[in-house]
């Protein structure tokens, strides 16, 4: 019956599809968060949970996997989306492409990102907590139970 079903993918093909879907979702959601933050200048850390949910759902829909490796793809892609969103928020959307091609700016942006995430105020601590919850949600939502 598998001959007639052209949409039937084996486990490795579904894993590759999950990686591609997760990467696309991570880039889109990360850029969307960064643009929202750079436009309004209001940190909305609760959106990290939504990013995790969105990436997890993309991995679940296109990967349709039940193994832990699909869950790890969801967690890693959620972390990538958070990093993309933070870097886009720091440099702004028009400058993100200039930042990518100018390695001389990488250390400055990395220093700003570290200062934003590792400061000892309550906002940074809550932001780290919500990032962790978002990564966990991406991990949980990526597999079919």
pLDDT in tens, the chain (145 residues): 444 444 677 788 889 999 999 999 999 999 999 888 888 877 788 899 999 999 999 999 998 888 899 999 999 999 999 999 988 888 877 777 776 777 777 788 888 888 887 877 888 889 889 999 999 999 999 988 7
What pLDDT score was predicted for residue 6?
46
Q: Would you state the pLDDT for residue 21? A: 94
Write down the pLDDT at residue 75: 96
3 state SS of 7 = coil
pTM: 0.84
**What pLDDT score does 76 carry?**
96
Taking a C-beta distance cutoff of 8 angstroms, is the pair 81, 29 a contact?
Answer: yes
Distance, in Å, from the CA atom of 112 to the CA atom of 119, rounded to the nearest integer, reads 11
Domain ranges (residues) in the chain: 11-141
């Amino acid at each position: 019956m598998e001959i007639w079903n052209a949409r039937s993918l084996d486990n490795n093909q579904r894993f590759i599809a999950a990686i591609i879907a997760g990467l696309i979702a991570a880039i889109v959601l990360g850029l969307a968060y960064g643009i929202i933050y750079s436009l309004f200048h209001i940190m909305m850390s609760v959106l990290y949970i939504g990013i995790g949910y969105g990436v997890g759902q993309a991995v679940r829909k296109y990967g349709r996997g039940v193994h832990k490796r699909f869950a790890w793809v969801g967690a890693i892609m959620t972390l990538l989306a958070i990093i993309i969103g933070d870097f886009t928020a720091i440099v702004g959307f028009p400058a993100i492409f200039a930042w990518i091609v100018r390695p001389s700016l990488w250390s400055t942006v990395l220093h700003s990102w570290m200062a934003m995430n590792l400061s000892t105020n309550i906002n940074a601590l809550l932001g780290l907590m919500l990032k962790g919850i978002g990564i966990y949600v991406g991990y949980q939502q990526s597999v079919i139970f």
